[in-house]
Amino acid sequence: MSILSNDSKTNPNKILPMTYMWAREHYKNGVANNWTPEEISMQKDVEQWKSKDVISETERRMILWNLGFFSTAESLTANNIVLTVYKHVTNPEARQYLLRQAYEEAVHTDTFIYCCDTLGLDPDHIYNMYETIPSIKEKDDFVVSLTKSIMDPNFEIKTSEDIQKYLHDIVGYYVIMEGIFFYAGFAMMLALKRQNKMIGIGEQFEYIMRDESIHLAFGCDLINTIKEENPVIWTENFKKTISDLIVKAVDFEKQYAYDACPEGLLGINPDQFSQYVEYIADRRLERIDLPRVYDTENPFPWMSQAVDLSKEKNFFKTRVTEYQTAGSLEWD
């Protein structure tokens, strides 16, 4: 039996007994982190966004860029799950997690709708940034280029070469898109939150990052399982190809960090954001049994605490007791 098997031994409707307990654990962790954006008040965010003194022009630009990138990136990842990953992963407990992940991507999409509506942002401006801002477009285009094989509706897994193509593409999806391309933006938004600025948006990004850390963990376990079940595909040349792709992705993310926040942010300079991207890239490489490239120390140790579910605060204390939609939040 294989996690990608389509043979008669795999019944996608029979989840017990389970074969891959790691998939079940990721599902349970996802449920434990359940949240919705409307549970987080944005009243103070509205007040700060309206003020001319609280949020600088550099910070406003950075916030808009991150909303622009994440709003389209979440749709891209959701489409990948529904149209490609789920189709070829036939194991039922893995599929259970993928359905959970698809739900979370929908929540993330809803988050950016909530943020745009609440702050009164122009949706055309936000949702067209992937076409108008080069460093956002380059990241999106790179991921699309990495997932061409599995996005082909005629793609099937029949040979070792097919499995290698599938592995290549889900590295692009899980490790590069969700594991690298999201993290400079996470660091920027959480750095702002640490200064008590736009804390509603910051808290939503914090919960998105926790979701994404589980998505990444599932993706790496899926990648490693495919490797273990099909060792013939994990050649030295293929390892180098994957490592080179991750290095290229780091360059794209570092450029995005410089472009989104060229003057630095709250005492953090653009070089530190770049160092953080290198640090997390080494962690991703190690997670799929590839050697580190950068050996860079973590410039933001507080990011590790932000993603740690075991240190979760009492979420109920920060929830909006009477749900307020964008139309009911006070602007004056």
Identify the CA nearest to 184 among candidates 110, 76, 295, 264: 264
Residue 180: count other Cβ atoms within 10 Å of its Cβ.
21
HSE-CB of 192 using CA atoms within 13 angstroms: 30
What whole-number distance in Å separates Cα of residue 306 and Cα of residue 313? 10
> What pTM was estimated for this model as a whole?
0.91
Token pair listed for 208 = 């998105």
Tell me what pLDDT residue 148 has. 87
The DSSP annotation for 224-279 comes to HHHHHH-GGG--HHHHHHHHHHHHHHHHHHHHHHHHHSTT-BTTB-HHHHHHHHHH
Q: How many residues does the chain have?
A: 332
Collapsed DSSP state (helix, strand, coil) of residue 319: strand
40 phi and psi angles, rounded to 5 deg: -110, 120
Residue 23's Cα: distance from chain center in Å? 18
Q: Say whether the peptide bond before residue 17 is cis (omega within 30 degrees of 0).
A: yes
Token pair listed for 123 = 């949706």
The label of the residue with tokens 């003194």 reads 53
Active site residue 323: no
Show the domains of the chain with their CATH numbers: 41-47+55-308 (1.10.620.20)
What whole-number distance in Å separates Cα of residue 128 and Cα of residue 1? 44
What whole-number distance in Å separates Cα of residue 329 and Cα of residue 44? 10
Contact predicate 40/204, CB 8 Å? yes
User: Which of the residues in the chain have pLDDT under 50?
Assistant: 309-332
- What are the angstrom distances between the C-alpha of 38 and each of 76, 236, 290? 23, 48, 40
As a whole number of Å, the CA-based R_g of the chain is 20
Q: DSSP character for 46?
A: H
The DSSP annotation for 150-195 comes to HHSTT----SHHHHHHHHHHHIIIIIIIITTTTHHHHHHHHHHHHT
Catalytic residue among 27, 97, 114, 276: 114
Q: In the beta sheet, which residues pair with residue 268?
A: 265
Residue 322's Cα: distance from chain center in Å? 30
What whole-number distance in Å separates Cα of residue 217 and Cα of residue 214? 5
Identify the CA nearest to 274 among candidates 254, 302, 294: 254
Residue 301's Cα: distance from chain center in Å? 19
Handedness of CA 307, 313, 316, 320 (dihedral sign): negative
